[in-house]
Structure 1
């Protein structure tokens, strides 16, 4: 059965099969800055700064619509405020490769004692051991953001997709971590990256991000 993440990945026009890599379950580290927001949808960040790891940072912004969905997919109330970085835990799910792509779910879980919402796209950036960003800023895949209500312990995921470097011929680097920024937040979460080399320059080196959906993407 094709997973929800695989359905998102099918939007890209690639032909060959990719390899599999796992990811680390290492606990994320909260950082004072943020990863670059995804670009390419005409939405600009509301400011920029530098994080202490040395990477360029900016606020992650996500567009919203009038609908409100709970983390289980049912219609819910719109009274909860958005989830803040300090209330969330980040992780990267298992790769679901296919059609020349590597596809990873970026998962945010509500670790607070209150219900909050996520709406839009995450920010994301690969970094090396010194905190320097590797590769260009991710772009946003077409999607329809919907407000997801997360009760304590519930999760939402956004798809991270990039071309398999062995297929595209792009130059690669092996990140030490990935920074994940919740929508409309400036602080990011750092998760150890164990997903193998990623494309950083050359042909088909741009990563793409999808809007958040309820669940873990598994």
Structure 2
């Protein structure tokens, strides 16, 4: 008797699913396509002009979409400073711990992450001057080395990518 009830329940479920267009074990695809993650090849990376405040220096890391399609960035970039021989100088920048959201980067649009270090007067223990700033966009295993002379003193932090304000 229990096999008969099980079969009846299975048939009833199948009939219900057939009339609603649902399927067992499958998820319905979203009508809106997912925005692809920005790749290094999609971006022009640069270090912007520094800004100083309260003993800190803030350097915007600029991510400009060079494609004809929108792409997305989410989270923290990986950032380090390297010498002329492309060897890393000290440790990579640490994350600030700020929360983040996915940022859509439209064609020709620029978004930023902010790199912070201390001014020399506040933190006299400084690393040697870099030749490049090495940047991994969020969720990327590929980095770009941006020619830029940067001296890291004391703190070395990076914020998550944020839309332009």
TM-score bin, normalised by smaller chain? 0.7 to 0.9
Among candidates 103, 113, 128, match of residue 173 of structure 1: 128
Alpha-carbon distance in 2 for matches of 1:190, 1:121? 17
Deviation at 1:78, TM superposition (A): 7.0
Moved over 6 A (4+): none
Among candidates 64, 70, 84, match of residue 109 of structure 1: 64
Deviates further, 165-174 or 206-215: 165-174
Which residue in the other structure is 2:152 paired with?
198
Higher Cα radius of gyration: 2
Greater percentage in helix: 2
Contact 2:89-2:127 at 8 Å conserved across structures = no
Among candidates 92, 103, 108, match of residue 137 of structure 1: 92
Alpha-carbon RMSD: 1.6
CA deviation vs aligned residue, 1:61-86 (integer Å, no higher than 9, x gap)? xxxxxxxxxxxxxxxx7721111111
| TM superposition score normalised by structure 1 | 0.58
| TM superposition score normalised by structure 2 | 0.76
Alpha-carbon distance in 1 for matches of 2:33, 2:44? 22
Which residue in the other structure is 1:62 paired with?
none
Is 2:157 aligned against 1:208? yes
Unaligned runs of 5+ in 1: 1-76, 200-204
Describe the SS at the equivalent of 1:82: coil
Deviates further, 107-116 or 186-195: 186-195
Report the number of matched residues: 134
Which residue in the other structure is 1:84 paired with?
39
